[in-house]
Amino acid sequence: MTADVVSHPPLIGICGRVLSFSDEGRRDAFSSSQPYSRAVAKAGGLPVLLPPLPTAPQMVHTYLDRLGGLLLPGGGDVEPHRYGQRATTDALYGMVGLHDEFDLALVHAAIERDLPVLAICRGMQILNVAMGGTLVQDLDGGGHWMCEHAVRIDPSSHLAAAAGTDELRHCYSVHHQGLDRLGSDLRPVAHDPSGLIEAVEHTGASWIVGVQWHPEDTTSTDPAQQALFDEFIRRSAAHAG
């Protein structure tokens, strides 16, 4: 963690999710999984929740004016019509149209601004859809649902530079979908042992990295996973500065 990051922590926007109720008074709530914010804060960033209000997709530039970086988190499935398909499986879950609209609008605006982006799990899938790619709606047992697995990384990638290695042995995943047709300007930079794409990078951006697993869940036990957040925050601090 650099002195600049400590003295001037960049604001990192984390896309919020809609809950039907919360524990406090059982009211509707906006939420974000705590490990994302913890990993960002540990790296020296200041996490802020971006609530998916009905007006939020039209306000993305107002949000991004204030941010040093954008974190696209995991969550439910992307609606198939967003990538030109109809639902072909009953395995689809957690689809919320407003989440898709907000996340996609944020991605496009972030790319336009060359804002550092870390896209995690659903976030990587949203990045692919934003760039015109498609998804495998259900991997039918070939995914990674609540398990750890190894990932091989392209040594020339931003991801390898951040993690300090070309192999991560303990990547915790919770997904039943994967990338199918790759979106424009994206290149695959990591794969699992079966060949499934596990990470992508935007070739026209300074630093936009998507990973299919959840690095925030193992930062306390695997320094290489935290190192990804460290580099993201360094890039965000430089952008904000």
What confidence tens digit (pLDDT) does each residue in 159-186 have?
A: 999 999 999 999 999 999 999 999 999 9
Asked if 214 is an active-site residue, the reply is: yes
Q: Give the active site residue among 15, 99, 121, 231.
A: 121
Q: Which CATH code is given to the segment(s) 3-240?
A: 3.40.50.880
Task: Give the whole-angstrom CA distance, residue 123 versus residue 127.
Answer: 6
DSSP state at residue 66: T
79 is known as an active-site residue: no
Domain boundaries, the chain: 3-240
Lowest mean pLDDT across 11-25, 46-60, 65-79? 11-25
Q: What's the pLDDT score for residue 21?
A: 62
The predicted-structure confidence for 70-109, as pLDDT tens digits, reads as follows: 999 999 999 999 999 999 999 999 999 999 999 999 999 9
**Out of 99, 176, 202, 214, which one is annotated catalytic?**
214
Strands (E), the chain: 11-15, 17-19, 29-31, 46-50, 69-72, 117-120, 135-136, 144-153, 167-175, 178-179, 186-191, 197-202, 208-211
121 catalytic residue (yes or no)? yes
